[in-house]
Amino acid sequence: MYSSIERAIKFIIKAFKGSKAKVDNMEKCFHSILVGNAIKEISNSEEIITAAYLHNIINYTEYGYEDIEEAFGSIVADIVSEISEDWSLPKWLERKKEFIKRIKQSNDINNLNIIIADKTQDLLSYRELFDKKKDKLWKDLNSTKSDMTWFYREIYNISVDKKANSKLLERYKELIEFYFGEVE
């Protein structure tokens, strides 16, 4: 019998089948596996690790809260829901502002660690294209450098204030400084 984590990996491979990220053209499940693996290095909680693997399911697949709850339980579904963006908001900046507001209000450090691992992987996936396009990349992502700088730094500042995992924060900070300059 598969563990919850193994079932989550199987689930994301099925859910993202044939779906590629527009930035680096990698299978979307690859990103989710990397995020799950990062959390696996710092947590022993099967529910937290499972949620990390599933973190993009609600945002980018046909599967919703109920599907995750049925397959993995309400704790995992709640985590995935809490770290998902509100896609009913049509504009990038609106979604990000609402997302930042929610994570500021949350006291769950595990959720924040998943978000840091996710955003770290996002920034890593931009590297090759950034080397070619430099700051023109942000337009391809439906944003501006200024808005991206605000978003990624805001997550960093919240994470520092709430004492998120230092190992995750260190790598995240390096990437923020690469793209956007020094953080305070």
Measured between alpha carbons, how far is 149 from 70 in angstroms, rounded to an integer?
37
23 pLDDT band (50/70/90 cuts)?
Answer: confident
Judge contact between 131 and 178, C-beta under 8 A: no
Query: 32-65: string of b/e by CB count within 10 Å (b at 16+)?
Result: bbbbbebbbebbeebbbbbbbbbbbbbebbebee
Q: Does domain 4-180 have CATH number 1.10.3210.10?
A: yes
The reported pLDDT for the residue numbered 75 is 98
pLDDT at residue 184 greater than cutoff 80 = no
20 by DSSP, 3-state: which?
Answer: strand
**Residue 108, amino acid:** D
Q: What is the pTM of this model?
A: 0.96
Measured between alpha carbons, how far is 27 from 13 in angstroms, rounded to an integer?
9
In tens, the pLDDT along 85-123 reads 999 999 999 999 999 999 999 999 999 999 999 999 999
Judge contact between 122 and 141, C-beta under 8 A: no
Domain ranges of the chain: 4-180
154 pLDDT band (50/70/90 cuts)?
Answer: very high
Find the Cα–Cα–Cα–Cα dihedral 86, 89, 92, 94, rounded to 10°.
Answer: -90
The reported pLDDT for the residue numbered 22 is 83
